[in-house]
Amino acid sequence: MKAFLILEDGTVFTGTSIGVQKEVISEIVFNTSMTGYLEVLTDPSYAGQAVTMTYPLIGNYGICYQDMESEQAWPDGFIVRELSRRSSNFRREDDLETFLVQQGIPGIAGIDTRALTKILREKGTMNGMITTREISDLGEVLPQIKEYSPKGVVRRVTCKEKRTFVPGELGSEEVPVKKKAALMDFGTKKNIVRSLLNRGCEVTVYPAYTQAEEILGDKPDGIMLSNGPGDPKECVEIIEEIKKLSASSVPIFAICLGHQLMALASGADTHKMKYGHRGANHPVKDLETGRVYLSSQNHGYVVDEAAFDKEKAEISFRNVNDGTVEGVRYRGKKIFTVQFHPEACAGPLDSAFLFDKFIEMM
């Protein structure tokens, strides 16, 4: 069946419908990872967005459920050039198409994803509609498409109640428990939890809107702020709680949205990037050692360097390509945050040592 992707600038791509046939309006973003489509689909940070994969052949190795980064798929839509009709891998349990249907995600295949990517790169991230309806008058839908804005996404993706995991769960190694970690779930990926479990932490995952007092009352040895979707400035209440957490002496390590929220909590600012960083090949430089690591990234907002109080904190990582802030260390506190994803999935495992660093701080 024919499907259409209509961008808010009026560009229309015609392709074939994949997944469920459902009309959606969403923010269209692109990801340059060549592998890891399932991890991308199940990364809660994509809530409120529709993802385009720039690699043209998607679905080749099917679905291995244990690679899911959360319990469900989050994007509003999935855009690929070619969905493999046959998938092959020793762990494969399903086809990607089956998975999309099962998760209720609409999508479009058979379009020139490179042309789409170039539009997003030149004009910036924009909204779009995926539909199987032939729309003769674009004027009818364009205002509606433009109007869309991903709102309240953290509330959608965070867990409903707190839950504690011990090593051995989530496919982690069964190591003795040495530390107790608290994880604020703004849309966490399983591998953040797993990375802590593998290092001997008992991990309690808290819903995003948990009060700081409750978390501190559980006496964790360290607090982790997870990744998550949306505009960090929307999370006003959470920022207030983070201020309280950072006033405590408990070590804090934050990733992605967590990193942005910590920056906002300490008085810095964030802004939306033209088209963000989404992929598995972003080099970040550790300014202390000069070492460069390849990182997995997924963010549309970035910490503003201009509004950054150098007295309170210093930049620890920078993006080699565009020089943007990739990590912050807070002076006089056991707090460090990174914009990229040391838990990888999908992507390189180069910066996984940051979890070790966090454990050492506890």
Partner 1 sequence: MPKRSDIKKVLVIGSGPIVIGQAAEFDYAGTQACRSLKEEGVEVVLINSNPATIMTDKDIADKVYIEPLTVDVVKKVILKERPDSVLPTLGGQAGLNIGMELEECGFLKENHVRLIGTTSLTIKKAEDRLEFKNTMEKIGEPIAASTVVTEVEAAVAFADEIGYPVVIRPAYTLGGSGGGIAHDREELEDICANGLRLSRVGQCLIERCIAGWKEIEYEVMRDSAGNCITVCNMENIDPVGVHTGDSIVVAPSQTLADKEYQMLRTSALNIITELNITGGCNVQYALKPDSFEYCVIEVNPRVSRSSALASKATGYPIAKVAAKIALGYTLDEIPNAITKKTYASFEPALDYCVVKIPRLPFDKFIMAKRTLTTQMKATGEVMSICTNFEGALMKALRSLEQHVDSLESLGVYDGFDREMMEEELHKVDDRRIFAIAEALRMGIAMEEIHEITQIDLWFIDKIAVLVEMEDRLKKEELTEELLREAKRIEFPDAVIARLSGKAEAEVKKMRCDLGITAAFKMVDTCAAEFAASTPYYYSCFGSENEVSGEKTRKRIMVLGSGPIRIGQGIEFDYCSVHSVWAFSKKGYETIIVNNNPETVSTDFDIADKLYFEPLTPEDVENIVRLEKPDGAVVQFGGQTAIKLTQALMEMGVKILGTSAKDVDAAEDRELFDEILEECCIPRPAGKTVFTTEEALKAANELGYPVLVRPSYVLGGQGMQIAVSDEDVREFMAIINRYAQEHPILVDKYLMGKEVEVDAVCDGTDIVIPGIMEHVERAGIHSGDSISVYPAQNISEKMQRVIVDYTGKLAKSLHVIGLINIQFIVYQDEVYVIEVNPRSSRTVPYISKVTGIPIVDLASHVILGETLRDLGYTPGLQPLSKYIAIKMPVFSFEKIRGADVNLGPEMKSTGECLGISEHFNEALYKAFLGSGVSLPKHKKMIITVKDADKLEAVEIARRFKKFGYEIFATKGTAKVLNEHGILAIPIHKIEQEAPTLMDLLLDHQIDLVIDIPNQGLEKAKDGFLIRRTAIETGVTVLTSLDTANALITSLENEKEEEHELTVIDIAAVK
**Residues with active-site annotation:** 256, 341, 343
Q: Does 1 bind partner 1 (CB under 8 A)?
A: no
CB atoms within 10 A of CB 36: 21
Structure tokens at 256: 């992605």
Task: Give the shortest CB-15-to-partner 1 separation in angstroms.
Answer: 10
Q: Which of 151, 271, 291, 357 binds partner 1 (CB under 8 A)?
A: 291
Q: Does 133 bind partner 1 (CB under 8 A)?
A: no
Task: Give the shortest CB-182-to-partner 1 separation in angstroms.
Answer: 28
DSSP characters over 149-202 = ---SHHHHHS-SS-EEE-EEEET-------EEEEEEESS--HHHHHHHHHTTEE
Q: Shortest CA distance to 359 belongs to which of 266, 246, 163, 220?
A: 220
Q: Does 285 bind partner 1 (CB under 8 A)?
A: yes
Name which of residues 38 to 77 contact partner 1 (CB under 8 A). Answer: 38-39, 54-57, 60-61, 64, 67
Residue identified by tokens 């090949």 is 281
Name which of residues 294 to 353 contact partner 1 (CB under 8 A). Answer: 294, 320-322, 344-350
How many alpha carbons lie under 13 Å from residue 245 in its C-beta half-sphere?
35
CA distance 243 to 113: 42
In whole angstroms, what separates CA 214 from the centre of its chain?
A: 26
CA distance 171 to 175: 12
CA distance 293 to 178: 28
Is the CB of 92 or the CB of 155 nearer to partner 1? 92
Is the CB of 278 or the CB of 334 nearer to partner 1? 278
Is the CB of 220 or the CB of 342 nearer to partner 1? 342
Q: Does 274 bind partner 1 (CB under 8 A)?
A: no
Q: Which of 22, 23, 24, 35 binds partner 1 (CB under 8 A)?
A: 35
Q: Which of 24, 170, 244, 283 binds partner 1 (CB under 8 A)?
A: 283
Is the CB of 142 or the CB of 280 nearer to partner 1? 280
CA distance 328 to 308: 10
Structure tokens at 356: 């070790």
Q: Does 91 bind partner 1 (CB under 8 A)?
A: yes
Contact 46, 26 (CB under 8 A): no
Contact 80, 18 (CB under 8 A): yes
Please report, as ranges, the residues that interact with partner 1 according to CB under 8 A.
Answer: 30, 32-36, 38-39, 54-57, 60-61, 64, 67, 81-82, 84-91, 110, 112-115, 117-118, 121-122, 279-283, 285, 290-294, 320-322, 344-350
